[in-house]
């Protein structure tokens, strides 16, 4: 199965190596990612100023996305977590994460439907 996605956002080959080449399993895991509310929880925590929860959610997103080889989100959520822990304003980094999340979601939907 040939799936072409921007490797800056998703490294399908890396993810498949991690799970023994099982594309069905990868699609299932990506579906669970789409159903998760981690991003909404992060958005809510930042909006309400709950930086402890925001840091926790950024860390969770980083871990989940790293396991799925969602490269761009992993990198930006890592930066966001560091920004929050350093007591800096997370606004610009969170805006970048929102853009990457939207783009990645579109690619994930393509992978699942392929």
**Cα separations (Å) of 70 from 20, 34, 35, 48, 101?**
17, 12, 15, 27, 9
Task: Please state which CATH class domain 13-113 belongs to.
Answer: mainly alpha
- Nearest C-alpha neighbor of 41 from the set 55, 22, 31: 55
User: One digit per residue, pLDDT tens: the chain, 114 residues?
Assistant: 456 788 999 999 999 999 999 999 999 999 999 999 999 999 999 999 999 999 999 999 999 999 999 999 999 999 999 999 999 999 999 999 999 999 999 999 999 998
pTM of the model: 0.92
Give the separation between CA 60 and CA 42, rounded to whole angstroms: 10
């Amino acid at each position: 199965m040939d799936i072409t996605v921007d490797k800056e956002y998703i490294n399908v080959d890396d993810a498949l190596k991690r799970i023994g080449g099982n594309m069905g399993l990868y699609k299932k895991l990506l579906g669970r990612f789409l159903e998760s509310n981690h991003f909404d929880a992060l958005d809510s925590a930042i909006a309400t100023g709950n930086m402890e929860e925001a840091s926790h959610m950024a860390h969770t997103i980083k871990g989940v996305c790293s396991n799925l080889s969602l490269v761009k989100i992993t990198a930006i959520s890592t930066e966001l977590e560091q920004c929050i822990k350093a007591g800096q304003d997370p606004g610009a980094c969170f805006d970048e994460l929102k853009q990457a999340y939207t783009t990645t979601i579109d690619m994930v939907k393509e992978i699942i439907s392929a």
